Amino acid sequence: MTKERGSFSRLGFILAAAGSAIGLGNIWKFPYMTFENNGGSFVLVYLLAVAVVGLPIMIAEIVIGRSTQKSPVAAFLALKKPGWSIIGWLGIMTGFVILSYYSVVAGWTVHYFIKSVGWSIRGFGPETAATLGDQFGLFLSRPFAQIGYHALFMIFSMTVVIFGVKSGIERLTTILMPVLFGILLILVITSAWSSGFPEAIRFLFKPCQISPDSLLEAVGHAFFTLSLGMGAIITYGSYMKKDESVPRSAALVCVMDTLIALMACVVMFSLIFSLPEADRTQFSASIGVMFTTLPKLFYSMHGGFILSPLFYILVGFAALTSTISLLEVVVAFFIDQLNWSRIRATLLMGLTIFAFGILSALSLGAVQGLSVIRPLGGKSQGIFDTMDYLASNWFLPVGGILIALFVGWILPKAFSRKEVEEGHGPFRLHGLWIFLLRFVAPLAIGWIVYSVIILGKSFN
Ligand code: PHE
């Protein structure tokens, strides 16, 4: 294998980074968070969080990656700030942890795609609808199915990463991202004909009461959904060309990510608001809703037999472009730091993460001990939940604060200005950007960490 690092071509970075950002967080997590938080104002706060915390940190991550052309640990060494390479170490651990459980859920989308094709062919009657919850529970409790689909998704991700930056990641994302957008657009257009559509739009934009906890949830989610705080964007930034504009690319990725999240909300809410009032509570904050409630809704619509399989492919594609970025962070470290070949790094790390992920795969009902264990006291239950708790509440926010502080206070302003302006021209907002990194982002995220540590809240 060659040791050449590889780089993205034009648009390659944007699509790959958008691919990383757009994932289960947009299509599954954001709609139910918005639903739980009563819509409109939550969406507004979230948009604000993306603009004043997410976007500045995304630019900061790209600056670190592109200026050094190195993966996160090596990047801080190259910047002569070895102590800060802790950000890189934390990122590798976070990538490892998130991928281990994310791949489990991603695997379910494959199973439900197959199931859904079956329903479309054989028909989806009231008996099927009535047993969806039980079927899902049964699926979670079958160890071989859980491990098998998790394995399958890890194999998909490893295959792409083995092919490298250009012929693997870039090629796949440039095909999948437009397809994903197309499928979602079809779903949005179809939902515009449903009776719930007008209410869905109203719900998304109407002002409502908002609690401090929802504010924090919005900031925390901005991190997860934009793939920030763990070096994924530093790593992709290290493959970005110098003649591209950093601020413009970052802004575009944030806009695309937000647009997809809002489109997913329109689809889901249109489905839900087409139901009689009393049935709407089925849409609860559980991971299973995508598999237990949505099929019923799809098959009650015209064209549901096509829309339902399309939906699961969509979610699977979105998840795949995210899992490859998680794996790439880990793999790039072993290539850059230990001089491993790409094949070796991908196979060994992919297998290790797969093995670790088995614990999560079995912790949703298959193995009692893993499902009820509370390694952090009362904070989380079961391995799957614990991994998500640690990543969403601790690793990503802490990584995010450190990145903001590093670029805001430690990296010389002249250096960051030069990097941001390369390929962009004069960056008039440089002062504002540094201000957001120095004060606004650390305070907003510090507040999350404070609430998690002192007040014992959790936001996953
Ligand atoms: N952003 C992805 C999503 O919304 C998840 C992710 C987090 C991917 C961190 C990479 C890094 O689903």
Residue with the nearest Cα to atom 6 of ligand 1? 227
Residue 367 within a domain: yes
The one-digit pLDDT tens for each residue of the chain (460 residues) are 345 688 998 889 999 999 999 999 999 889 988 988 888 889 999 999 999 999 999 999 999 999 999 999 999 999 999 999 999 999 999 999 999 999 999 999 999 999 999 999 999 999 998 999 999 999 999 999 999 999 999 999 999 999 999 999 999 999 999 999 999 999 999 999 989 999 999 999 988 888 887 888 888 899 999 999 999 999 999 999 999 999 999 999 999 999 999 999 999 899 888 878 767 766 665 667 889 888 988 898 888 899 999 999 999 999 999 999 999 999 999 999 999 999 999 999 999 999 999 999 999 999 999 999 998 887 788 999 999 989 988 899 999 999 999 999 999 999 999 999 999 999 999 999 999 999 999 999 998 888 877 787 776 6
Residue 17 within a domain: yes
Residue 350 within a domain: yes
Structure confidence at residue 282 (pLDDT): 61
Atom of ligand 1 minimally distant from the CA of 396: 9
Residue 136 has φ and ψ, to the nearest 5°, of: -65, -45
Residue 459 within a domain: no
Structure confidence at residue 243 (pLDDT): 93
What is the SS3 string spanning the chain? Answer: CCCCCCCCCCCHHHHHHHHHHCCHHHHHHHHHHHHHCCCHHHHHHHHHHHHHHHHHHHHHHHHHHHHHCCCHHHHHHHCCCHHHHHHHHHHHHHHHHHHHHHHHHHHHHHHHHHHHHHHHHHCCCHHHHHHHHHHHHHHHHCHHHHHHHHHHHHHHHHHHHHCHHHHHHHHHHHHHHHHHHHHHHHHHHHHCCCCCHHHHHHHHHCCCCCCHHHHHHHHHHHHHHCCCCCCHHHHHHCCCCCCCCHHHHHHHHHHHHHHHHHHHHHHHHHHHHCCCHHHHHHCCCCCCHHHHCHHHHHHCCCCHHHHHHHHHHHHHHHHHHHHHHHHHHHHHHHHHHHCCCHHHHHHHHHHHHHHHHHHHHCCCCCCHHHHHCCCCHHHCCHHHHHHHHHHHHHHHHHHHHHHHHHHHHHCCHHHHHHHHHCCCCCCCCHHHHHHHHHHHHHHHHHHHHHHHHCCCCCCC
Q: Domain of 263? A: 10-453
Check which CATH number belongs to the domain holding 370 and give it: 1.20.1740
Residue 3 within a domain: no
Residue with the nearest Cα to atom 11 of ligand 1? 227
Residue 122 within a domain: yes
Structure confidence at residue 460 (pLDDT): 61
Q: If you measure from the C-alpha of residue 206 to the centroid of ligand 1, how many angstroms do you get, rounded to a whole number? A: 28
Residue 4 within a domain: no
Residue 72 has φ and ψ, to the nearest 5°, of: -50, -50
Residue with the nearest Cα to atom 7 of ligand 1? 227
Q: If you measure from the C-alpha of residue 127 to the centroid of ligand 1, how many angstroms do you get, rounded to a whole number? A: 36
Pocket test for ligand 1, best of 29, 57, 225 (most atoms within 8 A of CB): 225
Name every protein residue with a CB atom under 6 angstroms from any ligand 1 atom.
Answer: 20-21, 23-26, 98, 224-225, 227, 230, 232, 322, 325-326
User: Structural domain tally of the chain?
Assistant: 1
Structure confidence at residue 448 (pLDDT): 82
Residue 2 within a domain: no
Pocket test for ligand 1, best of 30, 325, 395 (most atoms within 8 A of CB): 325
Q: If you measure from the C-alpha of residue 18 to the centroid of ligand 1, how many angstroms do you get, rounded to a whole number? A: 10
pTM for this model (two decimals): 0.95
Residue with the nearest Cα to atom 9 of ligand 1? 227
Single out the residue of 217, 190, 171 nearest to residue 32, CA to CA: 217
